[in-house]
Each structure stands twice: as C-alpha cells, then as structure tokens.
Amino acid sequence: MESWANVIMKKAFKHGSQNTIDQLKTIGRELSMGTQGNWLSSKEYLDLVKAIGEAKSKAEEERIVMAEIEHLKKRIMEPDVPRKKMKEYIIRLVYVEMLGHDASFGYIYAVKMTHDDNLLCKRSGYLATTLFLNEDHDLIILIVNTIQKDLKSDNYLVVCAALTAVCKLINEETIPAVLPQVVDLLGHPKEQVRKKAVMALHRFQQRSPSSMSHLLTKFRQILCDKDPSVMSAALCALFDLVSADVKGFKNLTASFVSILKQVAEHRLPKAYDYHRTPAPFIQIKLLKILALLGAGDKHASENMYSVLVDVIKKNEPGKGDPGSNITNAILYECICTITAIMANSKLLGLAAEITSRFLKSDSHNYKYMGIDALGRVIEINPDFAEEHQLSVIDCLEDQDDTLKRKTLDLLYKMTKSSNVEVIVDRMISYMRTLSDAHNKTEIATRIIELTERFAPSNQWFIQTMNQVFELAGDLVPVKVAHDLMRLLSKGAGEDDEEADSLLRSSAVESYLQLLAEPKLPSILLQVACWVLGEYGTADGTHNADDIIGKLCDVAEAHPGDNVVKGYAITAITKICSFEIGAGREVQLIPECRSFVDDLLASHSTDLQQRAYELQVFLGLGADLVRKVLPVNGSGEEIEFDRELPFLQEFVDSALANGARPYLDENERLGVDSGMSSFVSSSRSHHEPSHGLRFEAYETPTLAVSSGSAAVPSSLLPDFEESVTEPTRSVRNQTDSSQVDLLGPEVARLRLDGVQRKWGRTSGSSQPSPAPTPVSEQQRRGSGVSEGASSNNESSPAEPRHDTYSSSFEGKKVQRVIPAEKQRLAASLFGGSSVQKGSSGGVNGGVKASNAAGNVRPSEKGVPSRPVAGSGKEKNWSAAEPKQASSSLMDLVDMSGDDLLPVHDSKASYDPFKGLEGLLGVPSTAASSTPAGLGKSTMDFMSLYDSAPVVSQSASSLAGDSDVLPLGHRRSGGMDGANGVEGGLMDLNMLPSVSPLAGLGELAQSSSSSSPSTGVSDKKGPSRQHSLQKDAASRQVGVTPTGANPALFQDLFG
C-alpha cells in the first residue's frame, strides 16, 4: 500500500519539491489551465495569496495581512456591497483568520450571510461561521433562527449545510430549539441528510445527555438503516452511549457481532471498500463497541470469539508481508478488544502473535503500536513480556522521542519492587531531557507514584523525591512534599527509633549538601528548611548556629519567596527552642538577628507573627519551651473531635429558642431537589433553570412563598451575639437561610435532620467528656447505640475505626498490618476477584492492579536487590549483549515467583509499611489526615490543636471557655484541603488568640491530656477505590437478556 500511495502522491504533488517561489511562478499557468471551480478568482484575492506566498519573513507576512485586514474592514462596512463581493470578502476573512489573525470585526457579516436566500452565499456564510465561532460565542443566538428555517428547507443541500452548522454551533442552551427538527430529519429520504442528522444528534448527546434521554431508542432504530453510511454514523453515537451505560446496551451485543460479521464478509457495497479492505472504519468502530460490551462479561465475550477470529484471519497478511496499514489498524483494534473482553486462550495467542509481528517490524509506527499492544497483553499474561525484552529495550534506546515515551509507559505498567529502581532511574534521566511542563508533570507524577508504591527503602525514597523536586520543581503537587515530611517525621512506622534517626540524619546531610547548589525550586527549599528545623540538631553532629546560618542563607537567597521565608523562620524557631529546651543558652548569630529584624517589619503579617513568636520563645523558660515545642513533636498524632461536643449546650439552647437544626449539604440538596416544585412551581423540571427557552412561557401561577428573607433575620441575632468570629456567622447565615427555603411545611424532615446530625453527639453532650478526649471506641459505641447516624458509618469506614482504636493501644498496630498482608497475599494467589477487591480496599490494593502474580518480594530480599539492579544498569550502557539480556530478565520479568512472606519478625524492614501513610490522599472533611499534615508543616498548629483539650478541661473546671473553643473550631473546621495555608491562616486571622495565650493552661493540663490517637495511618487512596469498583463490576458481571430482537436480519438484504 505504501508504494501505491507514493505513486499517487508523487504524481499528485509534482510541484512539491520545488520551493514556494517557483510554485508561485506557475500560478498563472495553473490558473489559465483553469483548475476547476475557480469561481472565486478575483484579482485582489489572487494578489493577496500570492503576496503572502512570496513573503520573505514572518514580519512581511504580518504586514501584508494587517493591510488586508484594514482594507477589508473599510470595504465590508460600506453600504450595499454586492452579494458576490461580500462572499469574497468573507472568504478572505477566513483566510486571514486561518493565518492566525483576528477577524472578529467580520463575524457579524458572516452570520448575516447565512440569512441569504442564495444557496451559494448561504453555504459560504455557514462555512465562515463554523470556522469563526465556537459554540459559546454571543452571535450564535442570531443564527439559530436561520438554522431552524433551513432545516425545514426542501432543498437537501440547504438542509445539509444547516446540519453541518448545527454540529459545530449549537450549544447546550440552543439544543431544544432545533432538536425536534433534527429528529424529524431522521426520516428524510436522502441518506446524506439522515447521516448528518444522526451526527448532529450524536453531538447533542455529547453536549447535553439529559436532553437526549428520550431518544435512546432512536439510535437503535437508526442502526437498521438501509444505508451503510447512516448506520456507521449511528455507531459513533452508540459508542458514546455504550461507554456511558454498558448495561443498557448488552442486548445489542449479538446485533453488533452480526454486523461485524457481515462487514468482514464483504457484504457492504464496493464503494465502502478502502484499499480492498471492506469498510475498515466501520469494523474498527464495531470492535471498539464490542470491547466495551465484553469487558468483564463472560457471556457477551463468548459471543464474540468466532467473529474476532474471523476478522483476524481475514486481515492477517501472508508470511513475510508486513500487511497494509489499514489491515494492521484493524488487527491492532482486535488486540485492544481481545485484551478488554474476557478472552479465551486462543484469541490471546492470536493477539500475542500480532503483537510480536508489530514489535519485530522495521517501521516505527508498527513498533509504537506493538509497544502499546504489549502493554495490553501483559496485563493479562505477564509472562509474554519476557519474549520481547530485547525489542522493548531497543525501543527504549531509540532516538524517536515518541517511541521512547511509549516504552516508558509500558515500563510503568510493568514496574514492581524488584525493578523499580532501574525503571525510575530511566524515567528520571528521561525527565532531565524534557523541557515542556506538561510532559514533565506527567512523568513526575508517575515517578512519584511508583516511588511511593514500590520504594525498597526510605532512604532511596527520599533521594528519588529530591531528584524529582529538583528537576520538576514547582510542577510537583505540594502534597508530595508534605508526604515526604510526614514519612520523615513518622519514620518507618515501627518502633525502631535508631533506624528513624539514622534516616533523619541522612536526610539532614543530603539537604545540607543540596542547599549548596545555587538554584533550587521553592518546594525543595521548603522541605529542606523543614527537615533542618526539625532534625538539624537532633543527632548532635551539627551545631545549632551552623544550621541557623544555613537557614538564614536560604531565606536571604530568596527574598521574594514568602513561603520559603516562613519555613525558614519557623525552622529557626524550632532549633532555638530545642536548644533552650536542652538547657543551653541561645544567642542569635548576627545575620539571624538581622533576618528576624527584617521579618518583624515585614509586610506579610504571617512572617511578622512568626518572627514575634520566635522572640517570645527566646524569652521563655526551658521547661515551658519543652512543652510547647517538644523535640520531634511532629511525629505525634493529633486528635480531632469533629463532633464538637462542647458546643452542644449552645446548640441545644439555640434549638430550644427556635433555631433550625443543621442539615448537612447532601441532605439539604437532596431535600431541595425534592422540594423544587414546592419552592418554585412555575419552573419546569427537566430544563436547566438558566437555559434559554424557546417556547412561550406558560401563565404564571401563584408560587408558594418561602419566607426565606424573614426567618433568618430573626434567627441571626442569636448567633451574632455569641459567635464573635465573622466568617463563622456568615456561614451560619447561609446555612440557615438555605434551610429556611424549605419553609415550615417540612416539619417531619426537620426532625430527621436533628437526629441525623446531632444525634451522635448528644450522647457525649450530657457528661462533657472532661479531661481526656473521647476515645474512638466510646464514641463509636454511642454512635451505634443511637442508631441514628447509620448513614455516616458507611462500611468502608469501619476498618479505619478499628485501626484507630487499636493504634490507641500502641503496639497493636504492628500486628494489624501483617494480618492484612497475609490476607492480601492469600487473596492474590487464591485468585478470586472478590477477595482481591476487598483486601485491596483495606491495604495496598494498588498492588492488585498489577496483573496476577506481581506481588511484593520477600521483605528480607529487598535490600540486596537494589544493589544488583543498579549494577546491572551499568552493564546496559556498556551494551554487552549477554549481560544485557540477563539484566533484561530482571527488568521485564513479570513471572510471579516473588511470594509475599507471612512475616511477623519485628526486625524485618518493611518499606511498604513506611509508605502506607503516603498512599493516603488527604480526603476532605471526612478524614483527619490534614490534621497530621498541617501539624507536620507548621508547628504552631499544634498549639491550636491541643487547645480543645485544654479548653475542655478548663471548661469543666472553670466553665469559662469562650475564646478557645472557637479557635479550635476554626482549626478543626479548616479542612485538609488547605494544608499549610490552613495553618497560616490561623495565625493570621486569630491574632488575638495567640498560641501563647493558652500556654499557662497548657502547662498545667498537658500532663493530664492523654496521648492522641493515631489518625492518618490508613487512608483510602482513590486507586483502591477504583480497584474495588473494578472488582465489583467484574464480580457482578451482567447477564445479557436472552432473546434479541432480530434487528439485522434484513439489514444488508
């Protein structure tokens, strides 16, 4: 085929090899020869094109175009421009716009031209408007009327032109205006019109699925259209519909299979052949749909086996023949389908065969497709990769950037603990070569993910992260930096203090070295400052003054970066207080003195605050400072009591005074939609409320008055008196007014709300849970016994609760995780998808995503692996084939010979455990990870966080707790999304509640406040959820309904 195409093209582009000037010299000849349809060849236009073609430089071209724009502007606005002239102007506008200049002054004329009665002008108008306008342009509304009229035209060409415009221009708001007419056109006698109408409906479906829901059956009918092009248009739409809702279309499986069979058997008219392949584009579309339908459905998949074999056989080239591009396109699509459905071994064998042929091909295109296909095949059969290691390595070393990236994608899929270092190393060196932000972000995300999942040691993890920070800098999400800090502060998650402190001091060393480099991204500096502040002096090798000097240097080198400065001053504060706490005299070195003085006068209140705090700390006594900023304080957990039981009294009294109960957002919205007819009876349901309406408004009916304005005003004073903090009261206002919308009629619902929201805490409200925070156990117990909040206690949360309570008892944690691992291992090798899913939900379900046997290697084996791996890595570059192949085994080996040992020995070093916390995505309000986060970044947070404890005890003693609870409430309510900023804001916005205010009480009561419970050990990362979902869908499967209406028997007659 390739050669065939070349012949055509050589012939066709006979001028191609000459340069433009030469080409333009032939223009006259070309034109005199009368290239057909040169109806637009006015002198001016030709001159323009010619001038632009001859332009020597970009600047010259620019000048010509600008002159043209000026010219057109003047001419187009003249009154009474003849139609033909106007059409030419419009085409010239298109030309100008195509060259990248703004022609918006002429848009309105293009729109006007669509109103023209002359079909010629109309089509030019439509062409120009579709090229000029996006669907959200203001002028669209002017064109809707014309389109409506044209859709009714009895000239099918007019209708076609209008439909083409519909596909591009009609947006969500204007769909209702044309929808009925487009649907009518499905019955048009001309197949071109029907086809375009289907495509228009498809476009509507993409824009606004809700407005199309009543038309789903239409698409099924169109599938039986007697014209193949209409049928293929319907396939486009059906593909989208099926991917949105697979279950609803299961019963069409047999129909699609039979269509594919007929197409493959060459039953369509010859006109649909493409290079002697019968309707390949239709075949590919069908294969895509089948892939969707067969995924996770054994029964549906079985129906497809024979047709897939047929298609492959028909397209498989003879031996030694590379096959044409189009047959290979079909074959590739077959691989995609086979790997997506539940295929049998025969099909998988075929897919593997085709894949190897692609990989062995000389063409880069086929290699690329082969790598992609290999990635799909090994997800089912990991052993297959081994055979092709060499090809994969070739592609990895190839000079073609696209191919290289694709191969890295493949490696990413194949990563496991044994090869993670090699692969991440490759990725990092690739990242070095990149310059554009998008690619960098993508590869950085991948590296981070792999590192978090498979890191063999914390040391390696930190080093890799540093490299990523260094290379990708601010493209890395801040969360990753926080995770890194958390890892350092928590250590390996075991009681091995020695290992932890080793890790920390090695981190300190590495950052001290890094800081010597001239230009570092802000995020890396933040991490470095934090680490130096927290652990800089911990192991005693570094003198406090040295570290402080370094920190001052950092801050000095980045005068514009307030965040880094904030981290630096906080770190200095920590070091000073550690010194004071250790009973040593602290004398700030001069440069630090001047840095602090700078900050004291800073414009940023945050920095100012921190500087003042440092000064206060310097003046405090040793034991007090020890309490406030304990050494390694960020490793401790913070307890959040989200139920705010100490506010119960206030709430009760407010309720007693007639305030409305709080409904949480979901309930509010749920009730709201239910009540929408109530609130505004004139508004119709199925239309977006702000959408344009094209029918007349119905006569207004008397709406039920909601009285939302009156009630809150009577309510609010209550709140504002007692709640001094402004934002708080604003929130209350909105809450109550929203609830009020429902009006007093919903008394029953209101009661529900009371129980739902406040029921749980009411238990703890009676006896205020004095000096100690409510233990999770207790709280849970009360929640269950109340039985009201079953909603909140959804089952996935259960295990987490378990872990809390067990972590409460300290060492129990260690026992929990191995047990989970045992289950993971067992379920992985048991092979049942159900177990897999459930265990994945609890623990590192990520692992399960890597196909079958890919399990963590024995824990003890890990430390030795990395060394071997990196050694081999060097061999690669030496390009000694023999050694290379052995190392390739290492890289590509997917055979599941690594078993997960059932381990309980304390000494064994478990990277996974250390990383568990990292997998956690700080979820929203529900989880309290953010607490840990904010804490680890900002030590002052701890003051607020411990405030509740203080205040609770204080309140039980003195009954006076007006200010502090508020402070706590804010910091508690400050959700994790805010992270550090949350901490910062606290400092900014609550200057009156200085952290030091609570010190006196803290000093007294901190001894009585019990250690906080663990919170952030287990978080459900989204990957786990997706896995669970996947497993669930696989498990559920769907049995297609049996009898299929024989839709297609008469299809191709």
Partner 1 sequence: MIHFVLLISRQGKVRLTKWYSPYTQKERTKVIRELSGMILSRGPKLCNFLEWRGLKVVYKRYASLYFCMCVDADDNELETLEIIHHFVEILDRYFGNVCELDLIFNFHKAYYILDEVLIAGELQETSKKSVARVIAAQDTLIEHAKEQSNSLSNIIAQATK
Question: Which range of residues in 363-371, 456-464, 550-558, 932-940 is near partner 1 by CB under 8 A?
Answer: 363-371
Question: Which range of residues in 46-54, 612-620, 897-905, 909-917 is near partner 1 by CB under 8 A?
Answer: 46-54
Place of tokens 């042929």: 357
Minimum distance, C-beta of residue 62 to partner 1, in the bound complex (Å): 12
Q: Report the residue from 42, 44, 46, 908 that binds partner 1 according to the rule CB under 8 A.
A: 46
Using CB under 8 A as the binding rule, the residues of this chain from 396 to 415 that contact partner 1 are 399-400, 402-403, 405-406
Question: Which range of residues in 39-47, 213-221, 451-459, 909-917 is near partner 1 by CB under 8 A?
Answer: 39-47
Asked if residue 331 lies in contact with residue 355, where contact means CB atoms within 8 angstroms, the answer is no
Question: Which range of residues in 265-273, 374-382, 492-500, 969-977 is near partner 1 by CB under 8 A?
Answer: 265-273
Measured from the CB atom, is 8 or 879 closer to partner 1? 8
Q: How far is CA 907 from CA 676, 767, 811, 865, in A?
A: 62, 44, 14, 18
Measured from the CB atom, is 231 or 824 closer to partner 1? 231
Measured from the CB atom, is 435 or 1041 closer to partner 1? 435
- Quickly count: other Cβ atoms within 10 Å of residue 472's Cβ: 24
Question: Which range of residues in 438-446, 474-482, 627-635, 715-723 is near partner 1 by CB under 8 A?
Answer: 438-446
Question: Which range of residues in 41-49, 742-750, 753-761, 1020-1028 is near partner 1 by CB under 8 A?
Answer: 41-49
Q: Report the residue from 66, 108, 120, 751 that binds partner 1 according to the rule CB under 8 A.
A: 120
Binding mask 323-342 for partner 1 (x = CB under 8 A): --xx-xx--xx--x------
Measured from the CB atom, is 26 or 727 closer to partner 1? 26
Minimum distance, C-beta of residue 454 to partner 1, in the bound complex (Å): 24
697 belongs to the binding site for partner 1 (CB under 8 A) = no
Distance of CA 106 to the CA centre of its chain: 40
Q: Report the residue from 28, 53, 317, 744 that binds partner 1 according to the rule CB under 8 A.
A: 53
Best CA proximity match to 141, nearest among 169, 182, 103: 169
Measured from the CB atom, is 159 or 675 closer to partner 1? 159
1053 belongs to the binding site for partner 1 (CB under 8 A) = no
Minimum distance, C-beta of residue 1 to partner 1, in the bound complex (Å): 9
> E strand or H helix at 273, and its extent?
strand 273-274
In whole angstroms, what is the distance from residue 913 CA to residue 917 CA? Answer: 8
Using CB under 8 A as the binding rule, the residues of this chain from 814 to 853 that contact partner 1 are none
In whole angstroms, what is the distance from residue 698 CA to residue 323 CA? Answer: 64
Measured from the CB atom, is 2 or 809 closer to partner 1? 2
Q: Report the residue from 81, 236, 499, 963 that binds partner 1 according to the rule CB under 8 A.
A: 236
> What's the full length of the chain, in residues?
1053
Q: Is 948 exposed, middle or buried (0-12, 13-18, 19+ CB in 10 A)?
A: buried
Q: How far is CA 334 from CA 291, 302, 312, 318, 352, in A?
A: 9, 15, 7, 18, 11
**What residue type is 132 in one-letter code?**
F
Q: Token pair for residue 579?
A: 């010194």
In whole angstroms, what is the distance from residue 1012 CA to residue 280 CA? Answer: 65
51 belongs to the binding site for partner 1 (CB under 8 A) = no
Measured from the CB atom, is 330 or 892 closer to partner 1? 330
Minimum distance, C-beta of residue 981 to partner 1, in the bound complex (Å): 28
Minimum distance, C-beta of residue 134 to partner 1, in the bound complex (Å): 4
Minimum distance, C-beta of residue 431 to partner 1, in the bound complex (Å): 15
Q: Report the residue from 51, 64, 81, 131 that binds partner 1 according to the rule CB under 8 A.
A: 131
Using CB under 8 A as the binding rule, the residues of this chain from 170 to 229 that contact partner 1 are 191-192, 195-196, 199-200, 202-203, 228-229
Measured from the CB atom, is 14 or 685 closer to partner 1? 14
Minimum distance, C-beta of residue 12 to partner 1, in the bound complex (Å): 5
Q: Report the residue from 22, 39, 834, 1037 that binds partner 1 according to the rule CB under 8 A.
A: 39
Please work out the total of residues on this chain that contact partner 1, with binding judged by CB under 8 A: 103
**Residue 567, C-beta contacts closer than 8 angstroms, at least 6 positions apart:** 525, 526, 529, 530, 533
Q: Is 13 exposed, middle or buried (0-12, 13-18, 19+ CB in 10 A)?
A: exposed
Minimum distance, C-beta of residue 322 to partner 1, in the bound complex (Å): 12
In whole angstroms, what is the distance from residue 771 CA to residue 759 CA? Answer: 23
Q: Is 209 helix (H, G, I), strand (E, B) or coil?
A: helix
Minimum distance, C-beta of residue 413 to partner 1, in the bound complex (Å): 15
Minimum distance, C-beta of residue 332 to partner 1, in the bound complex (Å): 6
Minimum distance, C-beta of residue 109 to partner 1, in the bound complex (Å): 16
In whole angstroms, what is the distance from residue 734 CA to residue 719 CA? Answer: 12
Minimum distance, C-beta of residue 823 to partner 1, in the bound complex (Å): 34
In whole angstroms, what is the distance from residue 201 CA to residue 219 CA? Answer: 9
Q: Report the residue from 51, 64, 91, 851 that binds partner 1 according to the rule CB under 8 A.
A: 91
157 belongs to the binding site for partner 1 (CB under 8 A) = yes
481 belongs to the binding site for partner 1 (CB under 8 A) = no
Using CB under 8 A as the binding rule, the residues of this chain from 15 to 34 that contact partner 1 are 15-17, 20, 23, 26-27, 30-31
484 belongs to the binding site for partner 1 (CB under 8 A) = no
Minimum distance, C-beta of residue 777 to partner 1, in the bound complex (Å): 47
Q: Which residues of 515-525 are buried (b: 16+ CB within 10 A; e: fewer)?
A: beeeebebbbb
Q: Is 25 helix (H, G, I), strand (E, B) or coil?
A: helix
8 belongs to the binding site for partner 1 (CB under 8 A) = yes
> E strand or H helix at 278, and its extent?
strand 277-278
In whole angstroms, what is the distance from residue 557 CA to residue 803 CA? Answer: 45
Question: What is the full DSSP assignment across 693-761?
Answer: --SPPPPP-PPPP--TTHHHHHHHHHHHHH---HHHHHHHHHHHHHHHTT-TT-HHHHHHHIIIIIHHH
Minimum distance, C-beta of residue 405 to partner 1, in the bound complex (Å): 6
Q: What are phi and psi of 276, to 5 degrees?
A: 65, 5
Asked if residue 808 lies in contact with residue 1012, where contact means CB atoms within 8 angstroms, the answer is no
Measured from the CB atom, is 155 or 1022 closer to partner 1? 155
Minimum distance, C-beta of residue 694 to partner 1, in the bound complex (Å): 22
In whole angstroms, what is the distance from residue 1000 CA to residue 994 CA? Answer: 12
> E strand or H helix at 46, and its extent?
helix 43-54
